[in-house]
A and B are shown apart, each in its own frame.
Chain A
């Protein structure tokens, strides 16, 4: 069966520091992958999606970037974090029209 992993589970970083969040999927090949951010009271905001290795689409301009170096690996990065980057980051993959979510990473920028 397919599983999706995210790490770290929680992260506290100072403003201006770099960021790297990782998402990996097991049990499937060439999945569509997604990064969402969830801020309190604002629902889920799609940040990036990828339909294949090296193919990244950005939904909103921001301080973040994404990469897909391997088929089942999706990385969210930033060179310099802002306070506004705090939130709950969720990775998801898609199968048969449905999206399945990972456990998330809670990022607090101080």
Chain B
């Protein structure tokens, strides 16, 4: 069955420190992979996506993610976290197709210490 696992429910980092949020997926074919961010009470904003090609993808707000097929992972990284990055982050996997349905992980809440 297709699934997405985000092992860390809550992470706290200091402002200026580096960040890595983990995402593992289970999917039968080469997946489309996404990271979304959600601020409290808001909708989800797309940070970045992987469809094919270069396995290191750049997104908005200084985020990047690396697709590692051998590890079934798509971890999100940022070299220096800002206080405004505090939010909840969701990894999602999908397939090419007319429906384009996505399967989401349960999210990782990021807190940033001053």
Contacts and interface: CB of A to CB of B under 8 A. Distances in A.
Interface of A: 32, 34, 41-44, 46, 49, 51, 57, 59, 90, 92, 94, 97-104, 106
B41 A106 contact: yes
Listed residue (B34, B43, B96, B102) with the most chain A CB atoms within 10 angstroms of its CB:
B43
Contacts of A97: 32, 49, 51, 94, 96, 100
Contact of A46 (B34, B45, B102): B102
Main secondary structure of the interface of A (DSSP, over half): strand
A46 B106 contact: no
A77 B9 CA distance: 31
A99 B106 contact: no
B51 A46 contact: no
Contact of A102 (B34, B43, B90, B105): B43
Given A43-B106, A44-B104, A94-B100, 6 more contacts: A43-B105, A97-B32, A97-B96, A98-B46, A98-B49, A104-B42
